[in-house]
Amino acid sequence: MNVFANFPYFLKDGDLIVIRISALNTAGWSQPSIQNVQGAVLITHPPYLSLPSLDGQSATSLTISWDNVLGSGFYEFLWDKFGTVKQFSKLLTLTDNKYIINNVPNSGTFRFRIKATNECGYSSISPVLLVNVVAEIQLPSQLETVIVENSACNVNFAWMPPNDNGGAPIKKYVFEV
């Protein structure tokens, strides 16, 4: 049916196709048939999808949405964790044009693409949406060990870094006397 969407017809998805038929022999063309009453509705592959969007982000979830495609039976939601998989995998099949991903790892770059489907086939795959997930930085844990070495002329202090840096490198220490 995609042939009707191009030259010379330029019909759009959902347009009704009503036809008449003529026959040709050596004497010429017959009179056209009476036009069919039922007609047929034009259905084509789903159109190209635009870039999905990040609609919401929390510490543990992402909300991804994309354009709703009329006549689409469902969408395939494709993803990969950039730098590790390097290949898109189908995460799931959806009928809605929005998905909330829960239990998102606390760091990394993720890539998302969408593909619409209907009874005629698949749309082109959407452009890639890159999402950087950055861990929420917390305070470093309390230092536990302070070592004091005392000699006749010097006092030396030493400590171990905190057990938990809070998700970011320690930039400096403050020494209070």
Tokens of 127: 């452009």
What is the per-residue pLDDT across 22-61, written as a single tens digit (0 to 9) for each?
898 999 999 988 877 677 776 677 777 888 999 988 877 8
- DSSP label at 2? G
Q: Is the pLDDT of residue 109 over 60?
A: yes
Question: Residues 63-79: what's their mean pLDDT?
Answer: 83
In this prediction the pTM is 0.56
Under the banding of pLDDT at 50, 70 and 90, the label for residue 169 is confident
Phi, psi of 3 (to 5 degrees): -60, -30
Q: What is the mean pLDDT of residues 138-164?
A: 81
pLDDT of residue 6: 64
* pLDDT tier, 83 (very low <50, low <70, confident <90, very high otherwise): low
- pLDDT tens-digit series, residues 124-138: 888 889 888 876 777
Q: How many residues does the chain have?
A: 177
36 touches 112 (CB < 8 A)? no
Mean of the per-residue pLDDT values for the chain? 79
Residue 163 has pLDDT above 80, yes or no: yes
Residue in 40, 111, 43 with CA at minimum distance from that of residue 73 = 43
Share of the chain above pLDDT 90, in %: 6
Beta pairing class for 24-25 and 129-133: unpaired
Q: 53-133 sits in which CATH class?
A: mainly beta
pLDDT at 30: 92
How many of the other CB atoms lie within 10 Å of CB of 120? 15
pLDDT band at 3 (very low <50, low <70, confident <90, very high): low
Q: Which of 29, 66, 21 is nearest to 48 (CA)?
A: 66
In the chain, residues under CATH classification 2.60.40.10 are 53-133
